[in-house]
Amino acid sequence: MMIKFARFNIYLLALLALLTVCGCQSPERKKKKEVTNIALHLETNQDGTERNEGVPIYRDKTAQFYINVEKDTFLDEGDIEEAKIVDELGGFAIQLKFTWRGTQLLDGVTSSNRGKRIAVFARFSKDPRWLGAPIITKHISNGTFTFTPDASREEAERIVRGINNVAKEAKKMDKVW
């Protein structure tokens, strides 16, 4: 009889240990694991090939419009050094600071495509979507791209956390190489 009781206690302890290790995660731990994939696509003319497609910008059906973009991205989360939310008059925006490589690519694209749009695509939840498509009005040579996202403040904070987590991992990988 004692042996069965001891075995029960061992199973109970094992179950408690398992629940402690695999159980609830703190909100901070979950935030550290958040990942956001973000990609910048350049607006292009529809040429009938498979290299471009029309994409919807904005979730609101009354304000939604389509633009034609290149399917290949010219910048993505691997080129981002840091992301942050900046307050602007009447709202907020997401600011992306690019690495040296990203700065050079952004410089080239914005200097030769004034008047076109840069469409921003993000995958940060179960429903990836196009966040915006600001018009290129000036040459961006400092590597900082700022846009107003079609997202709530909470979603924008989640997006920025995920981008920064990816950037931290990329920096770790660079040190390994």
pLDDT by residue (tens digit) across 135-153? 999 999 999 999 999 999 9
Of the ranges 25-39, 51-65, 103-117, which is most confident?
Answer: 103-117
In the chain the first and final C-alpha atoms are separated, in Å, by 60
> Mean pLDDT, to the nearest integer, of 18-23?
49
| 82 compared with 8, residue with greater pLDDT | 82
| pLDDT band, very low/low/confident/very high, at 30 (cuts 50, 70, 90) | low
pLDDT, residue 170, reads 80
Q: Where are the beta strands (DSSP E) in the chain?
A: 37-42, 52-57, 65-70, 75-76, 80-88, 91-98, 118-123, 129-132, 144-147
pLDDT, residue 8, reads 45
pLDDT, residue 105, reads 97
pLDDT, residue 87, reads 95
| pLDDT band, very low/low/confident/very high, at 10 (cuts 50, 70, 90) | low
Q: Walk me through the domains of the chain, giving residue ranges and CATH numbers.
A: 34-176 (3.30.1360.200)
Share of the chain above pLDDT 70, in %: 80
pLDDT, residue 24, reads 52
Share of the chain above pLDDT 90, in %: 64
How far is the CA of 98 from the CAs of 86, 148, 159, in angstroms?
Answer: 16, 17, 16
Span 87-134, pLDDT tens digits: 998 899 999 999 999 999 999 999 999 999 999 999 988 889 999 999
pLDDT, residue 21, reads 47
